[in-house]
Structure 1
Amino acid sequence: MKMHMLSGGRLRMSKRTYLPDAARGEMIDLPVSCVLLRHTQGNVLFDTGCHPDVASDPEGRLGTLAKYMQPIMPADDHVLTSLKAVGLGPDDIDVVICSHLHTDHCGCNAFFTKATVFVHALEIEAANADNAFDRGYIKADWDHPLKTEIFDKQMDVFGDGKLTLIPLPGHSKGTTGALVKLDRSGEYLLASDSLSVRANLDQRISPRNSLDVDQFLKSLDEIARLEASGVKIICGHDDAQWAGLQKGPHAYL
């Protein structure tokens, strides 16, 4: 199996959302990461990032959320362009895994009409709640007539131990990471927003945008346990880590 890191956009938010000691008004740049996994049984995309309209018409796509998560990417910085750089299009993707259904993680779902979409049951529930928009859920991102596989516990996607979905709730009800086992590079946890920025793990701090702080910290402890066992952790939005990763056609093997 091969793993490709793909850009799904770029946002700017208040740094205090993630680090409470940050100065008022200080901002943090957040890369939106998507991951392509090329397995012998199919091509998998972990998260689809921001919709292209987020760059060209942020208020139209995000509404009032655009005030809190400011798009700072060019118009062509989205997962469709990133896939094209590795020679693939939306129809080449067999499985889309939604770590959760917030707008910056499933914005391009609609383009993957031939894929089966994997999503945690609690995310479907949260995305349909009356206060869903205030929690970062936008129907235009996730509410499509796509083939869907709903899960509610740890799941081995292909049955060979190479790609395992691990629920890591706290940021949202159904936030899910993916444990990836590569032949040469070893094991990686695609943490998504169970660990958006590395400092939250190093300092054991829950961000202000956590739905459930106790659950978030329990998930953080599980991430720390995995890291202690030798698993490399890929954060959902850590700019310093993102800068040092291989991207696009340069795959991890």
Structure 2
Amino acid sequence: MASFMKEYEHLKIQLKEIKLATNNFDEKNVIGNGGFGKVYEGELCHSNSEKKSLVALKRLDRKYGQGDPQFWKEIMMLSRYRHENLISLLRYCIEEGEMILIYEHASRGSLDGYLKDASLTWTERINICLDAAKGLSFLHDPNERQQRERHDIISKLPLPKEYEEIVLSATSPLMYTSIEELKGLISKGVVINQEKTWLSITEKGEHIERIYIEACLNLATIKDDRLSHPSAHIVNSR
């Protein structure tokens, strides 16, 4: 647990700063209440800049049944990944028995409050539902989780375009800590194209490819007698 917490040490903020921002958790600063506890608003410095900005602070209240697992899971997920339909986590505080999560402030207020606007059309409401579903899918769908594992790796280790495309197209996530390690994995062969193609790149840069019969039977993947690939530089072979 200590090593896990150390990974997110840079996101910690002192309780005294939160108390100043919320006027010691004054009820006048409460903007919401949910299964985690009360949500306050206040102005904080949450980056290298000394300029303060409005944030939302979610204060854990254990009487609602939530606790450490939910708190750390929220930090792990929302500080690492970005999605247009998710509120980003900026900071957290764990001090003097308090567990507080700090998010970017939603300029239009909470979703439940926004949906009470009688002027919203049904089309707008449906689009809101779809956008919310996309955000939830990004966090919970197994296929989306694989895409988050790959994008996370790529963002930390810049790759040549061809290798990046192979990583993104691999059926199973490729785990590596260096480009040389990745090249070693690919030289042994990687399954891509939704398990329809096996691809290997030798030390000489030669592309060896094996196409499974399912790929040939699926006409949607065939175009101009060439199968689709993650990179146009990969020469097809049969």
Give the TM interval when normalised to the shorter protein: under 0.3
Which one has a larger percent strand, Structure 1 or Structure 2? 1
TM-score of the pair, normalised by structure 2 = 0.22
Name the larger-Rg structure: 2
Decide which structure has greater helix share.
2
Higher relative contact order (CA 8 A, sep 6+): 1
